[in-house]
Amino acid sequence: MISSLLIANRGEIACRIMRTCRVLGIRNVAVYSDADARAKHVREADEAVWIGAAAATESYLDGNRIIAAAKEAGIEAIHPGYGFLSENAGFARAVLDAGLIWVGPKPDTIESMGLKDRAKAIAEEAGVPVLPGYRGDAQDAETLAKEAERIGFPLLIKAVAGGGGRGIRLVSEASELAGELESAVREAESAFGDGRVMLEKLVEQPRHIEVQVFGDSHGQAVHLFERDCSLQRRRQKVIEEAPAPGMPEEVRAAMCGAAVKLAEAVGYEGAGTVEFIVDGAKPLALDTFWFLEMNTRLQVEHPVTEMVTGTDLVEWQLRVASGETLPAKQEDIQLLGHSIEARICAEDPADGFRPGAGLIEEFGMLADEDADWLRWEAGFESGDRVPASYDSMIAKLVVWGEDRDTANDRLIDTLAHLQLVGVPGNIGFLRRCAMADAFIEGTHHVNWIAEQGEALSQAPDAHQYASVMAVCDVLLGESVEMPWSIKDGWRMNAAPVMKTAVAVGEDADWFDPSEHEVAEDISMPLLTDLSPRRFGVTTGGDTVLVEVPDFEAEAEALAGGNAVNAPMPGKVIAVNVKAGDTVEKGQTLAVMEAMKMEHALAAPRDGVVEAVGVELGAQVPEGEILVALVDE
């Protein structure tokens, strides 16, 4: 068995691999960039080695730095996790050439399965069903146009070396082909350094079902049943589950059998996933699924397979990489119950799923993390900072149930009691997906989220209203020290009135909680006190920032104000003044970078700079005084 392991990744997958390492007594070493110096995976590792700047190309995508880190730490093996270099055949070879163990399939296998046209040719030879299309070497426009007419519209253009939804274009009719082809080739060359494309018949209501396979160096290969990953947004998975809903046993046997055939055909070693596209407009049948691609790594959604098979797939990876045989034979692998995973991301669904970054004020759930039906796979905790340099996924919520309905009910309930404050989050969006009739009935497909529009991405007004009422209750219930500050609403000649002013965004109003009712089916609001005048309130997974208007400060601001404050957490990238400078109203005094945007901060009035409170390059919290002014 491997005795020491470097994890060439970050976030929740690094923490998850470490957990298995601790069980097996394997010394684990983390790597980190400048952006991750205080990250959770660094804190939890036995050791950690710095590998470069925040940019992934200068750290997590720099194979030479990672191998050097392994050598420096005296490590025996490297586990790539997923993403970054996990499917890079050149990096796998470099690891082996350095005398280290590569926890993954052989480089030649990664290479052959990484090219979509070659992978489909291998699948066809192995007797695995493949969609009609064109995968030839000729890439001239005339050939591609002829092949497109043969296949028929609509069709997809796909980058041969593609992955992660990149280099894919939908062509609905012949007139669109030339423009979409040019766009796909350009993106493929930029993303993968390979502009070759292939054409494929479009399945208009596709489901995405994949099979977990495992092989060892002794010629054995097994499957661990299927997962359904059809709930997607812009070709990125949102919620995954195992097994696939509505899967007949004969189709399961055929699909899983085809996946094992493919694994055997390439002498597969380690964890892999064979992905199939399924015609969602029809019931699952033997003629409704086709090979899509093979992922030569551990998948993000592997926990749902572990939950329904009682396995530890990372342990299997480490044992296979150590030269051992597979831990179980096919007949020993049983399917029990149903599991669903939701990807928690720092992104704002209401703003086009814009990714967010910054300080996490509160992150956690009320559910018992030790419950045997629950897994919480998180790469961040309260007090951590989400960097803007990487993928927005920060955690995964995984639940299990005796059947699909039970598992989904548990998912919905747990999401309602999950809190993320400080950065934007998609928890409410995930909950609305899980509560939708199409998902409950298992009739959703890959394009379903796009078809729903704002019904899923926008938080309901009732959640915002409940959050506001929760803050009003707190404010009106505050204890006071002086008798004239007692908040009992007393009036000498009229009935008592209990009102308080609160604001959400630009909208401020006076509220009397006794005059309003919150719907009975609304989840209990979870309130985080961010400052004396700011509250983060989560209702049904949706977090609202509720503020208490400072009318004195607003009056001062109308008169000009004496300070320029940081409007949000961020980095100071320019300071244009110094103490003693005379400034005019509207003049840019400093510039901040936050949420991947630059924010120019202007003087609120004419005056003289009394003090500059920050240095260039400083990370500042929201509200910090950057520049103070005095009268001339």
Q: Give mean pLDDT, residues 210-227.
A: 98
Are 346 and 327 contained in the same domain?
Answer: no
For 251-297, give the DSSP string. HHHHHHHHHHHHHHHTT--EEEEEEEEEETTS---TTSEEEEEEE-S
* Chain position carrying tokens 């292939």: 198
Q: Give mean pLDDT, residues 392-408.
A: 98
Closest CA to 443 of 291, 282, 287: 282
3-state class percentages of the chain: helix first, strand second, coil last, to nearest 5: 30, 30, 40
Which of residues 456, 474, 507 is at a domain's end? Answer: 456
Write down the H helix ranges in 194-272. 249-265
Which of residues 292, 316, 335 is at a domain's end? Answer: 335
Query: Mean pLDDT in the chain?
Result: 90
Are 299 and 246 contained in the same domain?
Answer: yes
CATH number at residue 211: 3.30.470.20
Pairwise CA distance, residues 525 & 233, whole Å: 28
Residue 281 lies in a domain: yes
Are 239 and 306 contained in the same domain?
Answer: yes
* Minimum mean pLDDT range among 128-142, 338-352, 517-531: 517-531
Identity (one letter) of the amino acid at 172? S
Closest CA to 345 of 476, 233, 192: 233
Are 331 and 210 contained in the same domain?
Answer: yes
Burial class (CB in 10 A: 0-12, 13-18, 19+), 473: middle
Pairwise CA distance, residues 155 & 269, whole Å: 34
Reported as a single tens digit per residue, the pLDDT across 372-387 is 999 999 999 999 999 9
Residue 127 lies in a domain: no
pLDDT-derived band of residue 556, with 50, 70 and 90 as boundaries? low
SS3 588: strand
CATH number at residue 159: 3.30.1490.20
Residue 74 lies in a domain: yes
Are 217 and 283 contained in the same domain?
Answer: yes
pLDDT at 336: 98
Identity (one letter) of the amino acid at 435? M
CATH number at residue 82: 3.40.50.20
Quote the strand ranges of 20-71, DSSP E.
27-33, 47-52
Peptide bond just before 327 cis, omega within 30 deg = no
Residue 471 lies in a domain: yes
Give bridge partners of residue 547 from the DSSP assignment: 503, 534
Whole-prediction pTM value?
0.83
pLDDT at 297: 97
Are 249 and 322 contained in the same domain?
Answer: yes
Check: CB of residue 61 under 8 Å from CB of residue 84: yes
Residue 584 lies in a domain: yes
Residue 387 lies in a domain: yes
Tell me how far CA of residue 138 lies from CA of 115, 118, 189, in angstroms: 16, 14, 17
Reported as a single tens digit per residue, the pLDDT across 26-75 is 999 999 999 999 999 999 999 999 999 999 999 999 999 999 999 999 99
pLDDT at 630: 86
Are 212 and 295 contained in the same domain?
Answer: yes
Reported as a single tens digit per residue, the pLDDT across 288-336 is 999 999 999 999 999 999 999 999 999 999 999 999 999 999 999 999 9
Q: Which domain holds residue 585?
A: 557-630
Pairwise CA distance, residues 325 & 160, whole Å: 33
SS3 632: coil
Give bridge partners of residue 354 from the DSSP assignment: 348
Tell me how far CA of residue 17 lies from CA of 122, 159, 532, in angstroms: 31, 31, 40
Token pair in block for residue 340: 């669903």
Catalytic residue set: 297
* Chain position carrying tokens 């064979």: 274
Closest CA to 306 of 183, 194, 400: 400
Are 427 and 364 contained in the same domain?
Answer: yes
Angle 486-489-493 from CA coordinates, rounded to 5°:
120
Are 227 and 301 contained in the same domain?
Answer: yes
Write down the H helix ranges in 279-378. 302-309, 313-321
Q: Give mean pLDDT, residues 613-629.
A: 86
Token pair in block for residue 375: 């897994």
Reply yes or no on whether the pLDDT at 480 is more than 50. no
Structural domain total, the chain: 6
Are 447 and 484 contained in the same domain?
Answer: no
Are 295 and 366 contained in the same domain?
Answer: no
Which of residues 303, 335, 367 is at a domain's end? Answer: 335
Handedness of CA 200, 201, 204, 206 (dihedral sign): negative
Pairwise CA distance, residues 211 & 209, whole Å: 7
pLDDT at 617: 87
Burial class (CB in 10 A: 0-12, 13-18, 19+), 568: middle
pLDDT at 508: 79
Reply yes or no on whether the pLDDT at 484 is more than 80. no
Residue 493 lies in a domain: yes
Check: CB of residue 34 under 8 Å from CB of residue 65: no
Q: Which of 182-186, 515-519, 623-627 has the highest mean pLDDT?
A: 182-186
Pairwise CA distance, residues 160 & 180, whole Å: 15
Closest CA to 42 of 51, 33, 52, 32: 32
